Structure 1
Amino acid sequence: MSTTTRSIAVLATTTLLAAGGLIGATTSADAAPAPHRGNTSLADVLAADGHDYDDNWKDFDILDAAVTTVLTAKPDSPVAVLADGSVRLTAFAPTDRAFQRLAKALTGSTPATEEDTFNAIAGAAGVDTVETVLLYHVVPGKTLGSAKVLKADGAKLTTAQGGKVTVQVKKKQVTLVDKDPDLRNPRVIAVDINKGNPQIAHAIDRVLLPVDL
């Protein structure tokens, strides 16, 4: 597994299987024992079980690989904020399947494995673009749990990349509107990952895009 890997997978699996709606689905708090409360960073959660790919498209191995690749190439990248658990932020975390959908949009073909998916995206985009896309998934300075997100209908969230993401809530299902008008907008499919800590994440089924592809 990967970045938001085993820990996130355990916290989110039940929620992902019940992805009919944000509140209709089981939250991570219901899906697993209460998470550790303190200053656990999302990077720690992501790297809890190493950095390996697997065959589970519902977890976050590709996200982990993207974060690791950026920080290896650019140690001073703002992406490093994910490793400082004392800094408040909210991240919208694309699943491996979300990245596979992006790879198909970029290349016209669907990669067979998670590793092929990451290589296709990194090859087509480059490290700087991967960094930009990652930062577009982070809302700095705010710990937005599921209850707050549900109340944010119409809000424009400013991301660490500098662009904005618009929250749309309909029948308790949260959709995030990005800058690409053609590809389908991501939906929140698992909530409150790393709850009880300043850094919290919500899983999404597509990758947020800061530009029009």
Structure 2
Amino acid sequence: MKRRVPALLAASALALGAVQATAPAANAKAAGEDSLAGLLTSDGNKFDKNKNDFDILTEAALAVIGAKPESPVALVADGSKRLTVFAPTDQAFRDLAKDLTGKNIKSEKKIFNALVELAGVDTIESVLLYHVVPGKTLTSKKVLKANGAKLTTAQGGKIKVKVKTKPEVSVTLKDRDKNDTDAMAVLSGLDLNKGNKQIAHAIDQVMRPIDL
């Protein structure tokens, strides 16, 4: 069972990725169809030292799309399709790598390599899709009103939303692994790609579609 953990969790590196998009158009708000992939790759798509962005996610998507060009993962490059992504940050993957390897890996590239090396393409794709809610543009306002809701993901599994407003606002996403730390929304990373059909919210953990 332990060997399945890194394979599953490395996969969530794909949560926002896609590789064939261009930078978002200037009039994104009016058009409403700029893709998440375009937003993510608009900064040059390079590993860096910013723990709050999504370089590992984006780079992992390259591996999946490269191996499986017809994968549903590519939908995040099609801004005409409505979807919501809950996206682990680079820091989430740094914590993950430490948990799985017992090592404090600082380089984002080395974290990416360490995680992806342990995961097959099909597993990567499955976990990616577990972070995507298809057909819905769930803004932060909608998420904050969704306490108790169970969202069906593109993977087929469900995630449960738990919202607290006191003593401060928090949004927790409960996955299928009952023993794992549940992901929480990063409040400073909500409504990425706002104004478009595709939107994303940063989270501080990767989610697991099965009970490990």
For the superposition of Structure 1 and Structure 2, which TM-score range results when normalised by the shorter chain? 0.7 to 0.9
- 1:187 equivalent to 2:184? Answer yes
* C-alpha distance in 2 between matches for 1:35 and 1:167: 32
* C-alpha distance in 2 between matches for 1:208 and 1:152: 18
Q: Verify the 8 A CA contact 1:35 1:196 in the aligned structure 2.
A: no
Displacement of 1:127 in angstroms is 2.2
Alignment of 1:26-65 (within 5 A): 36-37=28-29, 38=31, 39-65=33-59
Root-mean-square deviation over aligned CA pairs: 1.7
Q: Verify the 8 A CA contact 1:35 1:195 in the aligned structure 2.
A: no
* C-alpha distance in 2 between matches for 1:76 and 1:50: 24
Gaps of 5+ in 2: 1-15, 18-25
The secondary structure found in structure 2 opposite 1:167 is: strand
Q: 2:106 aligns with which of 93, 112, 117?
A: 112
Per-residue Cα deviation, 1:164-209 (whole angstroms, up to 9, x for no partner): 0000001221000011222211111121111110000000011111
* C-alpha distance in 2 between matches for 1:35 and 1:120: 39
Corresponding letter in the other structure for 2:173: L
Displacement of 1:78 in angstroms is 0.6
Corresponding letter in the other structure for 2:206: V
Q: Verify the 8 A CA contact 1:186 1:206 in the aligned structure 2.
A: yes
Alignment of 1:121-136 (within 5 A): 121-136=115-130
Per-residue Cα deviation, 1:32-64 (whole angstroms, up to 9, x for no partner): xx9831210001111112221001111100010
* C-alpha distance in 2 between matches for 1:140 and 1:174: 20
* C-alpha distance in 1 between matches for 2:27 and 2:201: 15
2:171 aligned partner:
174
The secondary structure found in structure 2 opposite 1:98 is: helix
Distance 1:132 1:35, change over 3 A: farther
1:212 aligned partner:
211
TM-score using structure 2 length: 0.81
| Count of aligned pairs between the two proteins | 182
Q: 2:157 aligns with which of 163, 176, 182?
A: 163
Percent identity for Structure 1 against Structure 2: 58
* C-alpha distance in 1 between matches for 2:109 and 2:141: 35
The secondary structure found in structure 1 opposite 2:117 is: helix
Corresponding letter in the other structure for 2:158: K
Per-residue Cα deviation, 1:59-95 (whole angstroms, up to 9, x for no partner): 1000101111110111010101101100000001110
Runs of 4+ in structure 1 off by over 6 angstroms are: none
* C-alpha distance in 1 between matches for 2:99 and 2:154: 24
Displacement of 1:125 in angstroms is 1.8
The secondary structure found in structure 2 opposite 1:192 is: coil
Gaps of 5+ in 1: 5-33
The secondary structure found in structure 1 opposite 2:191 is: strand
* C-alpha distance in 1 between matches for 2:104 and 2:208: 19
Corresponding letter in the other structure for 1:181: K
